[in-house]
Structure 1
Amino acid sequence: MRDQLYSSSFKQIPSILLGICALMLLTFTQLAKPDPSTVVRDLIAPPPQLSRFAFGYQEVIADSLWIRAVQDFDYCDQAIGKNICINNSWLFKMLDTITDLSPNFRIPYAAGGLALTVIITDIDGATKIFDKGVRAFPNDWTISYRAAYHYLYELNDKKRAAELLIQTGQNGGPPFVYALAGRLYSDSGNVELAEALLREMTESKQDPLIIERLRKKIESMRK
Structure 2
Amino acid sequence: MKHLLIILIIALALTWYCQLVSTQTEMKTIQNEECKVCQQRTVDEFFLSPPRDTRFYKFTFPADPDLAADLVWMKTAYYYGIIDISKPEDFFYLPFLLSTITDLAPEWKFPYFFGSYTLLFEANMEKQGLKFIEKGMASLPELWELWLMKGYYFIKYKKDFKQAALIFAEASTKQRAPKYLAALSVSLALKGNERSLAEQLAKIFQATINDKNITRRIAEKFK
TM superposition score normalised by structure 2? 0.56
- Residue 177 (structure 1) shift: 1.5
Residue in structure 2 matched with residue 68 of structure 1 by the alignment = 75
CA distance in 2, matches of 1:170, 1:36: 46
Match of 1:44 among 48, 68, 74: 48
| CA deviations over 1:89-134 (Å, ceiling 9, x no partner) | 3111100011111111111112221122222222222111111111
Residue 92 in structure 1 maps to residue 95 in structure 2:
yes
Residue correspondences, number: 150
Residue in structure 1 matched with residue 58 of structure 2 by the alignment = 54
Does the 8 Å CA contact 1:87/1:122 hold for their aligned counterparts? no
Q: Which runs of 5+ in 2 are unaligned?
A: 1-35, 193-223
Residue in structure 2 matched with residue 220 of structure 1 by the alignment = none
Does the 8 Å CA contact 1:92/1:125 hold for their aligned counterparts? yes
Amino acid of the structure 2 residue aligned with 1:161: A
Query: Relative to structure 1, is the Cα distance of residues 44 and 167 closer, same or farther in structure 2, using a 3 angstrom cutoff?
Result: farther
CA distance in 2, matches of 1:37, 1:164: 44
- Residue 76 (structure 1) shift: 5.5
CA distance in 2, matches of 1:76, 1:99: 21
- Residue 50 (structure 1) shift: 2.1
CA distance in 1, matches of 2:57, 2:115: 24
Residue in structure 2 matched with residue 197 of structure 1 by the alignment = none
Does the 8 Å CA contact 1:123/1:154 hold for their aligned counterparts? yes
- Residue 63 (structure 1) shift: 0.8
Residue 127 in structure 1 maps to residue 134 in structure 2:
no
Query: Relative to structure 1, is the Cα distance of residues 110 and 72 closer, same or farther in structure 2, using a 3 angstrom cutoff?
Result: same
Does the 8 Å CA contact 2:113/2:145 hold for their aligned counterparts? yes
- Residue 73 (structure 1) shift: 3.1
Q: Which runs of 5+ in 1 are unaligned?
A: 1-33, 188-223
Does the 8 Å CA contact 1:99/1:108 hold for their aligned counterparts? yes
RMSD: 3.0
Does the 8 Å CA contact 2:91/2:123 hold for their aligned counterparts? no
TM superposition score normalised by structure 1? 0.56
Identity of aligned residues (%): 23
| CA deviations over 1:170-194 (Å, ceiling 9, x no partner) | 013222222322333527xxxxxxx
Residue in structure 1 matched with residue 183 of structure 2 by the alignment = 179
Does the 8 Å CA contact 2:83/2:91 hold for their aligned counterparts? no
Rg (Cα) greater in structure:
1
Amino acid of the structure 2 residue aligned with 1:173: A
CA distance in 1, matches of 2:168, 2:120: 17
CA distance in 2, matches of 1:150, 1:88: 19
Does the 8 Å CA contact 1:162/1:182 hold for their aligned counterparts? yes
List structure 1 runs of 4+ shifted beyond 6 angstroms: none
Match of 2:161 among 137, 158, 161: 158
Higher relative contact order (CA 8 A, sep 6+): 1
CA distance in 1, matches of 2:145, 2:128: 19
